[in-house]
Amino acid sequence: MSISGLHVTMVAALFGWLVAFGWRRVPALALALPAQKAGLLAACAAALFYALLAGFAVPAQRTLIMMLVAGAAMLSGRIVAPSRILALALLVVLLYDPWAALAAGFWLSFGAVGALLYVGSAQVGEAVGWRARVYSWGVVQWAATLASLPILLLVFQQFSLVSPLANAVAIPVVSFIVTPFALLGALVPWWPILELAHQVMAWLMLFLEWCATWPVWLAPAPPGWVAVAAGVGVAVCLLPRGLPGRWLGAVLILPALAWPIDQPAEGDAWIDVLDVGQGLASVVRTRHHTLIYDPGPLYSAESDAGQRVVVPYLRFFGIDQVDMLMVTHRDTDHSGGTASVRAALAVGEIRSSLPGLGQPCIAGQRWVWDGVAFEVLHPAAEAYGGTGKPNHFSCVLRVEAGGRRLLMSTRNCSMSTASSCSSTSTSMARIRRVCRHTPSRLSAAHFSRSAGVV
């Protein structure tokens, strides 16, 4: 669970009220400094402490800066418009961390607050009665959800259909029950307080896990101008009731929700070698099929190229299903992202040289997708009964499309690999991807001649 600006504000307001409450009861202090200003200074100090304790993320930075600007205005006797406070907070955050603009949280945080201020500026007076309060809460959720839609589609290429319901339940429960009891339990050493906060959080997680089973809207990343048009559409949709033409906002948002997927023509193949560092991850796309040739390396126990590069790359193009995942060999710089790819995407078939992982790659396997021919050149079936390094059993794939051939091989080759390829394929390929880690006796030219590549 992340620390939102609402939590920072709650802690600051509570601490400021306590300080002001005690300040008024000491005449000497009240004469030296008004209790309201003392409480305001205490609230700003509490906000700074809590924001640092929470990791000083962008939402916490934005809330802290807005509170400091508003506090400075109140101490000086000035009245500052909320929109100016938000703009100044945006400026200070960028001056403090210019790279924050590259984080999705930056746009989601300021976009949501800007939408709330935009909607709130059209409301006059306070809500009276429970129905009016529920309606106001619904308007807040609608504004925050709609404002985040273009950003989520542009950055993550997906949008949760149940997020308004999840936020409507989770935000008040965490903000007004879990967080206050957790803070109280940190101050008062009585275990039932923390137990109550834990139990409420456990019940909430059951609800959120149920929400996580709902479908997610997936779409390819829209172009920049489509995302900007969707943002304008959001502003139009959030106009006050009674203004004509609000339906035009939905028209501007629709292209971002259903932007067409860019696909190769029949008989063509698009092959992309992804930048994953030490290792390999390639994607082959035909008209209606997708193949991953190695899912990339394992970076750490918590991170791999499948999670960080391959899956985001495919989702950028609106691809959530892979027809084949080919894992060439067991080295983690080639197979490290397998688990992440299988967990995030629907994988139809797996072929590899790893025992127990899908079907084995065997020389001579052929198939055709949308007029594009695929053929496995290595290893031979009898090679699996022998001994040797895992690199020597690497799957070698040839792709033929539009009169051109591409030989896809891993970066670790041997003399036996090249000989096996040459015995399987006698035709010439016009494009090649040669090995990088080769023994000194095997040059790239020798491998190309052996494998039938020029």
What mean pLDDT do residues 202-214 have? Answer: 91
In this prediction, residue 124 carries a pLDDT of 55
- Strand ranges, E, within 229-371: 270-273, 281-285, 290-295, 321-327, 346-352, 359-360, 366-369
Residue 35 pLDDT greater than 60, yes or no: yes
pLDDT in tens, 238-277: 888 778 888 898 899 999 988 888 889 999 999 999 999 8
3-class SS at 192?
A: helix
In this prediction, residue 122 carries a pLDDT of 64
Min mean pLDDT across 58-67, 179-188, 312-321 is at 58-67
Measured distance CA(289)–CA(291) in Å, rounded:
7
Q: Give DSSP secondary structure letters for 336-404.
A: TTHHHHHHHSEEEEEEESSTTSSEEP-TT-EEEETTEEEEEEE--GGGGGS---GGGG--EEEEEETTE
Residue 98 pLDDT greater than 90, yes or no: no
Min mean pLDDT across 17-26, 210-219, 387-396 is at 387-396
Please give the structure tokens belonging to residue 38.
């003392």
pLDDT in tens, 121-156: 766 556 667 777 777 777 888 888 888 899 988 888
What mean pLDDT do residues 278-304 have? Answer: 91
Residue 43 pLDDT greater than 60, yes or no: yes
415 confidence band (pLDDT: 50, 70, 90):
very low
Contacts of the segment 93-102: beta carbons below 8 A, 24+ positions apart? 93/58, 93/61, 93/62, 93/65, 96/61, 97/61, 100/58, 100/61
What mean pLDDT do residues 63-90 have? Answer: 81
The answer to whether 69 and 85 are in contact (CB under 8 A) is yes
Residue 369 pLDDT greater than 90, yes or no: yes
Residue 383 pLDDT greater than 80, yes or no: no
What mean pLDDT do residues 72-79 have? Answer: 79
- Delineate the domains of the chain, giving CATH numbers in brackets: 5-255 (no CATH), 270-451 (3.60.15.10)
Strands 158-160 and 359-360, how do they pair? unpaired
Q: Percentage of residues in the chain with pLDDT exceeding 90? A: 30
pLDDT in tens, 295-309: 999 998 889 999 999
111 confidence band (pLDDT: 50, 70, 90):
confident
Please give the structure tokens belonging to residue 172.
């008040």
Measured distance CA(286)–CA(270) in Å, rounded:
7
Measured distance CA(332)–CA(63) in Å, rounded:
42
Strands 270-273 and 372-378, how do they pair? unpaired
Residue 325 pLDDT greater than 90, yes or no: yes
Please give the structure tokens belonging to residue 359.
């079907």
Q: Which residue has better confidence, 340 or 180?
A: 340
In this prediction, residue 278 carries a pLDDT of 84
Measured distance CA(343)–CA(7) in Å, rounded:
33
Please give the structure tokens belonging to residue 154.
């542009």
